Structure 1
Amino acid sequence: MNWVEFSGHAYLVAFALYCFAFMFYVIAIAGQRWSNRDSKNHTQRWGRIAFFTSSVGLAGHLTFFFTRWYGSGQIPTSNMYEFMSFLAMAIMIAFTIIYLIYRKPILGMFATPLAVIIVAYASVFPKDVQPLIPSLNSYWLKIHVTTAALGEAFFAVGFAAGLMYLLRVVDYTRKDAKARKEQRWVEFTLYVIVVVIGFISIVFSFRGAGYEAHFTQENVTVDEQGQTITRVEQVQYDLPPIFKPYNSQVVSVDSFLGMNKPWFETPSWMNGINAGRKLNTVIWSIIAGSLLYGLLRLAFRKPLGAVIHPFMDGVKPSDLDEISYRAIAIGFPVFTLGALIFAMIWANEAWGRFWGWDPKEVWALITWLYYSVYLHFRLSRGWQGLRSAWLAVIGFVIVWFTLIGVNLIIAGLHSYAGV
């Protein structure tokens, strides 16, 4: 049996079950508004169905993980596809633990779509099993990456609960300056999520259409002896080139809506692997996300936060605040072990130093310091409610940049993760 191929089927099953679980959670929460009978029984019944479905999906996800591990002979966390897949699985594990503690179905309405988005995002990257580079060929890969991702997964659940708190307490009927400011920031958070969905949608759309653009790029570097080295590399785009690579020539560009050549050249100061292609992807993601957001606003004729807000009626803000804090409190020591302590031990083994100011190391430290401040303000200064929720939301933005921005945009020793 081809275990890697089998794992791919298990992955699709897990994705489908997560989608169904999300719909069932929506029915459990939103459906009670239209239920003429006991809304509490309605929520409990559909909440149990949704939790069972998400649990079976998690079982499928675990099957994917272990069968791919068995089939490839290495733990599947060594590239972006594998790591993001593992992160989505870890989020569902963290959600399951938190759900069993608090029994709040509404948490599933926000946690499961987060897992769905990350699973879909992971599928954008190459799915082939790639051999481990020397620095990754260590048992510390299993320890460091899994614990760091599990800590980040609890941060993600804290983010989901924090965002729910904001959607619950921000009053969209008020028109004063303070209320409008809160509404704009909540709406911007939702807009960023829509942009991520837009990125996934547009990549799959152009990939399904078989779109390609090819360039030859001339890269000039200077070695340690001061000699100039010129290399000509081939660059392929899967999206129409708004920005072509710096110092490159067009080989071929598929026409799209009359767009058969690049509009701009990537600035020379943008460093990193495939900087032009990544800038082009970011621009297309913003365009697609903005169009999708605009269509949603046109359909609902009100801010997305105002659309979601009524479904949060009946949910105690104090419960959401407690869930967000507990999730982060659980994730913090796990993240500390995985992203700092185990990471430094592995760095010393792989590169001969505990700390080297690599971009990924720096941003992992920034993330740890941020959540340290969050816990300090929460426990010592009594920051609860609205301020705590905003800190939880902003914290996961930092986590997301550490995972995505550093791997894909900033060049460093961890750039292999963006392959």
Structure 2
Amino acid sequence: MNFLEISRVAFMSAFLLYCAAFICYVVAVTGKTWRNRDPERHEAKWGRISFTVSSLGLLSHLVYCGTRWAYSGHVPVSNMYEFMSFLSMMIMVAFTVVFIIYRKILLGVFALPLAILIMAYAAVFPQDVQPLIPSLRSIWLYIHVTLAATGESFFAVGFIAGLMYLLRAVDFSATDRPGRRQKWWVEFTLFSIIIVMGFIVSVFAFRAAGYEAVFVQNQTTIDSQVEQDSTIEDKVIYNLPPIVGPHQSEPEQIQPFLGMTKPIFDAPSWMRGDTAGRKLNTVIWAILTGTVLYLLLRLILRKSLGSALSPALRAIDPDDLDEISYRAIAIGFPIFTLGALVFAMIWAQQAWGRFWGWDPKEVWALITWLFYSAYLHLRLSRGFQGRKASWLAVLGFLVVMFTLVGVNLIIAGLHSYAGTD
């Protein structure tokens, strides 16, 4: 068995161990409510088991990273699969650090699903090891990407604690207008997470079914030597049923799905790039599948997701959650600043001959940095604590996820080599 096979086994082992650890954390938190004998002892026992299992999962994740690194010869962060896998690993590292400091078992109930979700998202993308393109063959790959992911992982822990605070502090029985607005935004945040789950479910479901649709896209180019137009045919392959077809294309082969034998409409002309239609189609499927999943959960629970999760947090001190969220973001901010901005600009100067080029990923990295700068400024100078600070922590990580996911799916740029297949 070579390093690549070991890395694949280690990745799957980490995923399964995280799932098992999540179940153990749930048992640790909920078991004390239905056990009549010594609930504190039960929580302590299952808390130790949960942390041990999640630590074994992290160890397996580190083995994945090390063996893939040994096989490829470079740190595994060069495409979307590798980067998201690395990010989920660093979220577990950040969670482990925060857990050791604060010993809050309930954090595991929220941190593990986030790491699992990001690992599942990573598995959607091609997993083959490919040689680095010239612009990535630099020591700055190690520094820029790893530090940026590490900073974002602490932002993720801040998001988890902030969301937990809101679930703990928001009154889901309120009927006044401010109360309804708070409930709606908490529910929208949970719905946004379900949308990412919808993307994963839809991709894996149609991939398992072997679905494929092929389009022929005609592109006109001008030959400067003979001053004549020439037409080049490119094939665009969809692995999801084509609600949106590529711009100016003809279907070559479409497997019928629910009577759908052709796209409902084509991608608009302003969406440039041969994959623009496919990306828009993917976003639409993620929203549709996520909405179905959300409605199914609402039907099963017979209440909003926020109302269902809130009772589990009644025993936890909201001030502790507020402190955890702030400390995690305060740790992550300088790391993110160095990785995503300072070292990124140095690398950009070496690779592209300029420090800044208004590439979409660069712009959104700057937006992320400005947002967390404002968070820390408001927290320290204006006394933003509690609910206000928690809303900023939640919104900030949604900005991070759009930078990582939305920009790659929707906007094309120099960072498109990150692996949006």
> 2:325 maps to what in 1?
324
Match of 2:414, SS state, is coil
Q: 1:195-248, CA deviations, whole angstroms, 9 ceiling, x for partnerless residues?
A: 111111111111001010000112346799998664321111111111111100
- Partner residue, 2:255: 254
Contact 1:272–1:409 (CA under 8 A) maintained in structure 2: no
Partner of 2:189: 189
Instruction: Say if 1:272 and 1:410, in contact at 8 Å, map to a contact too.
Output: no
Q: Is the 8 A contact 1:271 1:410 kept in 2?
A: no
C-alpha displacement of 1:38: 2.5
Please name the residue that 1:342 is paired with: 343
Distance 1:114 1:291 in 2: 20
1: CA distance, partners of 2:303 / 2:369:
37
Select between 188-197 and 228-237 the one with higher mean Cα deviation. Answer: 228-237
User: What SS does structure 1 have at the residue aligned with 2:262?
Assistant: coil
1:30 Cα deviation after fit: 1.8
Q: Name 1:178's counterpart in structure 2.
A: 178
Which letter does structure 2 place at the counterpart of 1:56? L
Conservation of the 8 A alpha-carbon contact between 2:246 and 2:274:
no
Instruction: Name the structure 2 match of 1:146.
Output: 146
1:392 pairs with 2:393? yes
Is the alpha carbon distance of 1:251 and 1:109 closer, same or farther for their aligned partners in structure 2, counting shifts above 3 Å? same
Kindly state the Cα deviation for residue 46 of structure 1 after the two structures are TM-superposed.
1.1
Deviations 1:251-302 (A, max 9, x none): 0111112222211111111124511111111111111111111111111110
CA change 1:260–1:20 in 2 (3 A) is same
Note the C-alpha offset of 1:69.
0.7
Distance 1:187 1:79 in 2: 32
Instruction: Find the aligned partners of 2:374 and 2:273 in 1 and give their Cα distance.
Output: 31
The separation in 1 between residues aligned to 2:343 and 2:274, in whole angstroms, is 27
Confirm or deny: 8 A CA contact 2:280 2:409 kept in the other structure: no
Amino acid of the residue matched to residue 376 of structure 2?
L
| Native 8 Å contact 1:69 1:75 kept in 2 | yes
What residue number does 2:35 align with? Answer: 35
- Equivalent residue for 2:363? 362
Q: Is the aligned partner of 1:301 residue 2:327? A: no
SS in 1 for 2:159: helix
* Deviation of 1:179 (Å): 0.8
- Asked if 1 retains the 8 angstrom alpha-carbon contact of 2:126 and 2:419, the reply is no
Other-structure match for 1:351: 352
Separation of aligned partners in 2, 1:105 and 1:40: 12
CA contact (8 A) 2:283 2:409 kept: no
Cα distance, 1:408 vs structure 2: 2.8
Tell me the residue number matched to 2:98.
Answer: 98
Give the 5 Å matches for 1:83-162: 83-162=83-162
Distance 1:40 1:246, change over 3 A: same
Contact 2:236 2:274 (8 Å CA) reproduced: no
Q: Alpha carbons of 1:273 and 1:31: their partners in 2 closer, same or farther (altered >3 Å)?
A: farther
**Cα offset, 1:369, TM superposition:** 0.7
C-alpha separation in 2, matches of 1:117 and 1:66:
22
State the partner residue of 2:239. Answer: 238
Aligned-residue CA RMSD (Å)? 1.5
Q: CA deviation at 1:407?
A: 2.4
- Matched to 2:320, the amino acid is D
> Which stretches in structure 2 are left out of the alignment for 5+ residues?
none
Task: Say whether residues 1:54 and 2:60 are aligned partners.
Answer: no
8 Å contact from structure 1 (residues 242, 262) kept in 2? yes
Q: Which amino acid aligns with 1:307?
A: A
The residue number in structure 1 matching 2:272 is: 271
SS in 1 for 2:237: strand
Match in the other structure for 1:76 = 76
Corresponding residue SS for 2:250: strand
Q: Does the CA-based 8 Å contact 1:253-1:261 persist in structure 2?
A: yes
1:378 is aligned with what amino acid? R
Q: Deviations over 1:348-367 (max 9, x none)?
A: 11111111111111111111
Contact (CA 8 Å) 1:167, 1:309: kept in 2 or not? yes
Mapped contact 1:91–1:156 kept (Cα < 8 A): yes
* TM-score normalized with structure 1 length: 0.97
**Residue 366 and residue 78 in structure 1: after superposition, are their counterparts in 2 closer, same or farther (change >3 A)?**
same
Q: Which moved more, 1:211-220 or 1:60-69?
A: 211-220
Moved more, 253-262 or 174-183: 253-262
CA contact (8 A) 1:340 1:365 kept: yes
SS of 1:219's equivalent?
A: strand
Describe the superposition over 1:131-157 as per-residue Cα deviations: whole angstroms up to 9, x where unpaired.
Answer: 111000111101110000000000001
- In 1, Cα distance between equivalents of 2:72 and 2:163: 38
Higher mean C-alpha deviation, range 155-164 or range 171-180: 171-180
- Aligned residue for 2:314? 313
Residue of structure 1 in register with 2:2 after alignment: 2
> In structure 2, how many angstroms separate the alpha carbons of the residues matched to 1:302 and 1:222?
60
Give the fraction of aligned pairs with identical amino acids, expressed as a percent.
63
Change in Cα spacing, 1:103 to 1:271, as seen in structure 2 (3 Å) is same
- What is the alpha-carbon distance in structure 2 between the residues aligned to residue 95 and residue 232 of structure 1? 49
Tell me if 1:25 matches 2:10: no
Label 1:272 to 1:382 Cα distance change in 2 as closer, same or farther (>3 A): farther
**Normalization by structure 2: what TM-score?**
0.97
For residue 206 of structure 2, give the secondary structure of its aligned residue in structure 1.
Answer: helix
Letter in 1 for 2:202: I
Q: Which residue of 2 aligns with 1:207?
A: 207
Distance 2:371 2:44 in 1: 36
Matched residue count: 419
